[in-house]
A and B are shown apart, each in its own frame.
Chain A
Amino acid sequence: MFGTLLIKECKQILKSMVYYIYVVVFVLFLSSQLGGDITENLQRPQPGQENYGMTNSQKESDIMGKMLAELVLETERNSYATYPMGFYKGVILNETELEKVKAIVEECTGKNWQQVTGEITEHFNSYDQSSMEGAMQAQVTFSVFPRDDLSYAEFCEHMEEICRLVGAGSSYQKEKWSQGVSVPGTYEQAVEEFEAICTKDRITGAIARLFCDYAGIVLAILPIFLGVTRCLRDKRAQVVQVVYAHKLSTAKIIGSRYLANVCMAFLPVIITLLIMQMPYQYHARTIGVAPDLLAFLKYSCIWLLPEIMVVLAAAFFLTELTENVISIFVQVFWAIASLFSSMTLKGSFGWNLIARWNTLGDTTAFWQQRQELLWNRGFYLILSLVMFVLTIVIYEKKRREGETIYGKIFKRRR
């Protein structure tokens, strides 16, 4: 009986305009972001190349150099990026606060502020700022050297002072930079990294991660509308009472609706990913790597399915609770907050709804953080199940008592 209902629900979804917008937007979004050849630079590194990409370093000297560089650049602009509530908030200091920061910079570098700004200009002028590549290269190679006798402990104290001045959520918080900073890599590191892509990811794994990164952004928003539409459909078609009075249990009714939506939301994801990763299997073979044919399936099931499930479950829960569209506002807010709160576009999964890994490769770093991602997704999987059960409880309550607590307060019934 459950199966029949499930199929009927799926057919209903196929008839709704919302679903077609869902599919079209999803496909367009992915193909616009990943349409080109993204593996162009995926070749075995050769000695003597101009650069070997970036690598993560936790060396104290690297950390001090990079953090001071960021502080100098932000101080020169007087604009500090902070994420106090997960949202980006640009902090601008007043004169006295700014002077204090400059004093700290001077203390850490052993140079006065004019000298420091002079170095900035000098460094950036030595790169071709008009081209994108030059500007980026200038940014990543910029480093400010601390004075020779600056100890790591002193540095930490200064950073704490900066945090007090700039406010919560800046990149000067120890828990952020102690994870390591990004510095230009060497030939040996590049080779090691390439080997990792070939053996651990077998190329297609790295591709699948990049797909999941982009797909995860839209999938935080799109399924909301499917869920809200389904739940409000009964009210709109005035079938609520009829459905209530039938025999089938609430778990089966809500279960079939939820599962149908999860399946139908996941289906275009799987198909799009299957098609889009095919050329890269070929690419892997040309450089002599046996691709992992099911990588896209593994990644999307672990990375994207829990996200779809939790977004849909929240939509079901909030909509059955309130019987209006408020779920859309709450969840769009949630998604956008999550999108802007990712400190980096790579890793630091934390408890973010949208997991980012906006780079091809960086395999070693990913496998180090893999456990964190699994915890994150596991958490959302459980959260979605909890919300699903709560939806059943609410539906059953409404079915039994005729109205909800919320309804008693807010709705004037006929």
Chain B
Amino acid sequence: MERYLNAGGSFIRRQYAPHILLTVLFCVMSGFFVSFRNLDASQAAKVMEMYIAFTGILLLTPLFMPEQNREIWLLERSKATPLWQLYLIRVLEAIVLLMAIVTVFVFLMRQGGSVFSVGSLWLGSFAEIFFLGSIGFFVSGITNQVILGYMVSVLYFMVNIGGSKYLGKFALFQMMKGSYDFAALMLPVAFLLLAGGIVLRERR
């Protein structure tokens, strides 16, 4: 257990810190761009889906960054702890952070006198944000290029602004339109993408 904590802690300190910092900055800046006061369910969903959604990309895509360097990757592979366990620790860290972010914003909007169902907004937001991030994770994992991970996930977001009708249940911004049943499908797929990213990466 100790070595997992150690590995996770070292990742946060040495690699992840700037990304977390950026995410926090992004969240703090939200006050300039979106309102948390007196929102109804669809407006609250808009804040989560159009703004907070980016935290998923910010936190999940860079998890493979250290291993982009082949030497480091080979070195870590030769150690007793399998690499997938290291990745899993990082994913867990990212998930915990995302959960915290979603919770904070749901709480903020609640404090601001907004009216919505806390449970479904929380779950829906988390599912969407997590799903968007897992796309970045998957792509950067299999291609070993973090930039491609960012590119595909950001473009996925952009495509949804104009062409969500082509994406069916995997479209973003569904809560804004009053639909909340996508989470049941999106969450498992997101986990599948995470698992797929790790497995396919290590197959190379």
| B residues less than 8 Å from A87 (CB atoms) | 32-34
Contact assessment for B38 and A92 in the assembled complex, using a CB-CB cutoff below 8 Å: yes
With A and B bound together, what is the CA distance between A33 and B151 in angstroms? 21
With A and B bound together, what is the CA distance between A326 and B146 in angstroms? 12
Contact assessment for B154 and A229 in the assembled complex, using a CB-CB cutoff below 8 Å: no
| A residues less than 8 Å from B35 (CB atoms) | 89-92
Task: Tell which of A25, A93, A337 touches B155, judged by Cβ atoms closer than 8 Å.
Answer: A25
Within 8 A of A (CB), among B49-75: 54, 58, 62, 68
Within 8 A of B (CB), among A69-100: 78-79, 84-85, 87, 89-94
B69 to chain A minimum Cβ distance, whole angstroms, is: 8
The SS class assigned to the A binding surface is: helix
Contact assessment for A325 and B150 in the assembled complex, using a CB-CB cutoff below 8 Å: yes
Within 8 A of B (CB), among A318-342: 324-326, 328-329, 332, 337, 339
With A and B bound together, what is the CA distance between A217 and B26 in angstroms? 22
| A residues less than 8 Å from B150 (CB atoms) | 225, 325, 328
Contact assessment for A225 and B151 in the assembled complex, using a CB-CB cutoff below 8 Å: yes
Contact assessment for B146 and A325 in the assembled complex, using a CB-CB cutoff below 8 Å: yes
Q: A91-B35, A92-B35, A225-B151 are in contact. List 4 more A-B contacts (CB 8 A).
A: A18-B145, A32-B162, A78-B38, A328-B151
Contact assessment for A229 and B38 in the assembled complex, using a CB-CB cutoff below 8 Å: no
**B interface size (C-beta, 8 A):** 33
Q: List 22 A-B contacts (CB under 8 A).
A: A18-B147, A21-B155, A32-B162, A32-B163, A33-B162, A79-B43, A85-B33, A87-B32, A87-B33, A87-B34, A89-B34, A89-B35, A91-B35, A92-B35, A92-B40, A92-B43, A217-B158, A217-B162, A225-B147, A225-B151, A236-B68, A337-B33
The answer to whether the Cβ of A190 comes within 8 Å of any Cβ in the partner chain is no
The answer to whether the Cβ of A276 comes within 8 Å of any Cβ in the partner chain is no
With A and B bound together, what is the CA distance between A18 and B159 in angstroms? 17
| B residues less than 8 Å from A337 (CB atoms) | 33
**A interface size (C-beta, 8 A):** 35
Contact assessment for B32 and A18 in the assembled complex, using a CB-CB cutoff below 8 Å: no
Contact assessment for A92 and B37 in the assembled complex, using a CB-CB cutoff below 8 Å: yes
With A and B bound together, what is the CA distance between A342 and B143 in angstroms? 36
With A and B bound together, what is the CA distance between A79 and B44 in angstroms? 12
Contact assessment for A329 and B155 in the assembled complex, using a CB-CB cutoff below 8 Å: no
Which residue on B lies nearest to A25, using beta carbons? B155
Within 8 A of B (CB), among A192-242: 217-218, 221-222, 225, 228-229, 232, 236
| A residues less than 8 Å from B37 (CB atoms) | 92
| A residues less than 8 Å from B68 (CB atoms) | 236
The answer to whether the Cβ of B20 comes within 8 Å of any Cβ in the partner chain is no
With A and B bound together, what is the CA distance between A35 and B33 in angstroms? 34
Contact assessment for B38 and A21 in the assembled complex, using a CB-CB cutoff below 8 Å: no
Most buried by A among B35, B43, B146, B159: B35
